[in-house]
Amino acid sequence: MLAIIGGSGLTQLASLAGTRREVVRTPYGEPSGPITFGEFCGKPIAFLARHGYGHTIPPHEINYRANLWALRECGAHGVVAVASVGSIRADLVPGGIVIPHQIIDYTWGRKSTFHEGADCTVTHIDFTEPYDEALRARLIAAAAAVGVAASDHGVYATTQGPRLETAAEINRFEGDGADLVGMTGMPEAALARELDLPYAAINVVANYAAGRGDSSKGISFEAIQGVLEVSMGQVRAILEHLIAN
Ligand code: HPA
């Protein structure tokens, strides 16, 4: 079963048949909300709204460990994360869709491993390639199949949030090699790897990052919402093709 973690702009999957919701408890506390189970084209699927169904949990307060643990507990054997991002690169325009291939982590103070506490042995996961290449390839193929011109690579910088970045921070991230900036990619990706859950992401460019493009005079949240509504239709089409095939 594939699991989808939906971010801002994707808090439910409308096209699911026969849905039921289940509250799942974990040793790490409460997930962001109940998990929705349903079927698409006869294939089972699980969905979790990362920020809660009422969009009430900010990025730094998400219980990433509980979310990933709960999805695996429910039988997920792969996770597709949907998240909106700011674009650092001029050619990745608002409304565009990117299947990222790398991550830089600037977050702090988040519970970012299952391997801690008195009974745990020291464990270092390999994270050279943070996304599962096979799942990434399926996402890229699904986007092509439904006619969405998604970019097939991008370096995702994860910031702590919830505030947006300064223009100088964005310059620094660009110098570090980042193309996109978001607030939720880590520790989500690393925790999935710790659980051996194949994990890949679909990023929707909501805006140019601070100081870039039309964001040089500040970022408008009204504009972000408008962009997300259109692009999430394309995200749904990609996901439906992925699940059905
Ligand atoms: N920065 C960080 N996270 C984001 C942005 C941004 O500009 N846009 C959407 N998520």
Q: Which residue is listed with tokens 């978001």?
A: 182
pLDDT at 66: 98
Split the chain (245 residues) into runs of 10 and give each run's mean pLDDT: 88 73 96 93 91 91 98 97 96 96 98 91 93 98 97 98 96 98 98 98 95 78 78 93 92
C-alpha distances in Å from residue 154, one per residue of 16, 60, 103: 30, 23, 9
pLDDT at 126: 96
Is 67 within 8 Å of 188 (Cβ atoms)? yes
DSSP strand pairing (180-182 vs 102-105): unpaired
State the CB neighbour count (10 A cutoff) for residue 237.
17
Q: What was the pLDDT predicted at 111?
A: 97
Residue identifier of the C-alpha nearest atom 5 of ligand 1:
86
Q: Measured from the CB, is residue 7 less than 6 Å from ligand 1?
A: no
Expressed in angstroms and rounded, the spacing between residue 18 Cα and the centre of ligand 1 is 34
DSSP string across 185-207: HHHHHHHHHHTT--EEEEEEEEE
Q: Does 63 belong to an annotated binding site?
A: no
Q: How far is CA 48 from CA 74, 104, 141, 176, 177, in A?
A: 12, 24, 24, 32, 30
Does the pTM of the predicted model rise above 0.90?
Answer: yes
Query: Mapping DSSP to helix (H, G, I), strand (E, B) and coil, where does residue 110 land?
Result: coil
| pLDDT, tens digit (0-9, with 9 covering 90-100), for 44-72 | 999 999 999 888 999 999 999 999 999 99
The number of helices, as runs of H, and strands, as runs of E, in the chain is 5, 10
- Annotated binding residue 184: yes
- Residues 112, 62 contacting (CB under 8 angstroms): no
Closest Cα to atom 9 of ligand 1: 85
Residue 74 has a pLDDT of 96
- Return the structure tokens found at 38: 């349903």
Predicted confidence at residue 119, as pLDDT, reads: 82
Looking at residue 10, its pLDDT comes to 76
From 51, 60, 165, 172, mutation site for ligand 1 pocket: most ligand atoms within 8 A of C-beta: 165
Output the pLDDT for position 41: 81
